[in-house]
Amino acid sequence: MTEIVSPITGSVWKILAGVEAPIAEGETILILESMKMEIRVKCPHSGKLVEIRVNEGDSILEDDVVAVIQ
Amino acid sequence: MLESILIANRGEIARRILRSARRLGVETVAIYSDTDETSMLVREADRAVRVGEARPKDSYLNIDRIVAAARDTGATAVHPGYGFLAERWEFARTCEQEGLTFIGPHSDVIRSMGDKALSRQVASSLGIPIPPGSGILSGVEEARSWAAELSLPVIFKASAGGGGIGMTKVEKMEELPEAFETATNRAGLAFGDDRVYVEKYLESPHHIEIQILADADGNVVTFPERECSVQRRHQKVIEESPSPFATDELRARLRQAARRLAREIGYTNAGTVEFVVDKDRNSYFLEINTRLQVEHPITEMITCVDLVEHQIRIASGEPLSLREDDLEWGGWAIESRIYAEDSENFYPSPGTLASYVEPHGEGIRVDSGYQAGDIISQFYDPLIAKLVVWAEDRTGAVAKMQHALGNYDITGVKNNISFLTEAFASEMLKSGNYDTHFIAKLKEEKHG
């Protein structure tokens, strides 16, 4: 299990990946937004996306876990 | 003279506008969102009106609420600053219809120059070179054939764009469909207009711009160039005036092009004509920014002209008191944008300013909107302040900037002071021999 943490404080703009689906290395899981900037959170290694812990529009802090992959 | 100005902005630029208005004896009305209720601006303005919640669409982008605030306070004019509504022609139009003096060009001019494809056409018709490229693209197939004709690399740009948003570079043909889609999506999201065009991507270009002032009688004053090539994500970080890359001939050519454009479109108030200049000093028109520019202080430092004062005077119907032939300038000015962002990856870093101490000294100007204890909100631009220095020559200005950066103390949010310190210690910046690839080269030198 790998926990994916948010690199920034901001909010969740769009969730692109689907839970329970296979995911490839480098694929964008979700897009965060902060200070007028979009930050893509990418999958560090291929596997299965087990869980997404946030919803679109949620405010998040740096280092919050946003997703879990297996 | 205008009686009272509502400042439709926040942070450093709102305070900057307030200073000139106050000096002219004009009453100031600030607007604020919930996040900014305790800001310095709100305390300093003669009056302050809450316009809504933190999110820009509920406050600083909300035309109805801002116009209502002007009506309720009896403000007679509106200064939009930069960003937010500054280049939304609908905002200028609404102000005009409501009998408010919009401090900027007429809404028709904002509208036509906001259409980048149209503004390129106007420049081209005057014989001012534009970067080789397409008109509005109908789809990915047309994009592909233009890319083939222009030869790679090419860059997609949003027709309604500005501020580097939506620009997507393509280096390989197989990347083109995705880049086209990305550019189209971003343009639609950011500007509500998903039309894009494609341009040849110029190698090692300089980004150089000319400040203009123009009045209703057709008088136009152009200023010496600003060099704005130090950029990350197509957004400026360091600017200087004059440009170490400019020759007298290039300067005269750019100023003449800016003057002719301003006259042709009936420009009034302050604006900036942007150019890209290649390594052989061929210059190409990029766009006109129909507003006050973030980096306007460097022009003020080398000319001792208060651009905001002229904006207010022009908007109140006065003819320009300044003539280009009488414009004296000298020395060298440099601006560093102090951002709340990570120095390594430039990720934004909102938070609370635990401590905040600005440098002081002769030839040092800091335009800021924050003080210790303030929240730097995730909803707004990461700009904390602008550090501007002036000295007799470039070497002196670089040294003064280094000294000033060393005396800047910010804790509580990540910030780019250490990046700026590295930048000014680099041979490229010290020698003035840099282009828009500066940051990439600096990172390369550092990490090998």
State residue B180's pLDDT score. 93
- Indicate whether B119 belongs to any domain: no
Q: Do A37 and B380 count as a contact with CB atoms less than 8 A apart?
A: no
Distance from CA of A9 to the nearest CA of B (A): 6
B313 or B193: which leads in pLDDT: B313
State residue B21's pLDDT score. 98
Distance from CA of A51 to the nearest CA of B (A): 25
Q: Do A9 and B350 count as a contact with CB atoms less than 8 A apart?
A: yes
Q: Determine whether B291 is an active site residue.
A: yes
Chain B residue with minimum CA distance to A39: B347
Instruction: With H, G, I as helix, E, B as strand and everything else as coil, classify residue B60.
Output: coil
Same domain, residue pair B195 and B228: no
Distance from CA of B97 to the nearest CA of A (A): 30
Residue B191 confidence (pLDDT) above 80: no
Chain B residue with minimum CA distance to A37: B348
Of the ranges B28-37, B151-160, B363-372, which one carries the lowest mean pLDDT score? B151-160
In this prediction, residue B308 has a pLDDT band, given cuts at 50, 70 and 90, of: very high
DSSP at B144: H
Chain B residue with minimum CA distance to A11: B378
Residue B190 confidence (pLDDT) above 80: no
State residue B35's pLDDT score. 95
Domain boundary among B103, B123, B142: B103
- Indicate whether B108 belongs to any domain: no
Interface contact B349, partner A, CB < 8 A: yes
State residue B182's pLDDT score. 85
Q: A5-32 burial, b if ≥16 CB within 10 A, otherwise e? A: ebbbbbbbbebebeeeeebeeeeebbeb
Q: List pLDDT tens digits, range B113-164.
A: 998 888 999 999 999 999 999 989 999 999 999 999 999 999 999 888 766 6
In this prediction, residue B25 has a pLDDT band, given cuts at 50, 70 and 90, of: very high
Interface contact A28, partner B, CB < 8 A: no
Average pLDDT over residues B179-183: 89
How many structural domains does chain B have? 3
Q: Do B348 and A11 count as a contact with CB atoms less than 8 A apart?
A: no
- What mean pLDDT value characterizes chain B? 95
Domains of chain A listed by start with CATH number: 2-69 (2.40.50.100)
Residue B326 confidence (pLDDT) above 80: yes
- Indicate whether B392 belongs to any domain: yes
Residues from chain A contacting residue B341 (CB–CB below 8 Å) = 35
Domain that holds residue B150: 132-200
CA–CA dist B270, B265 (Å, integer): 14
Domain boundary among B200, B224, B252: B200
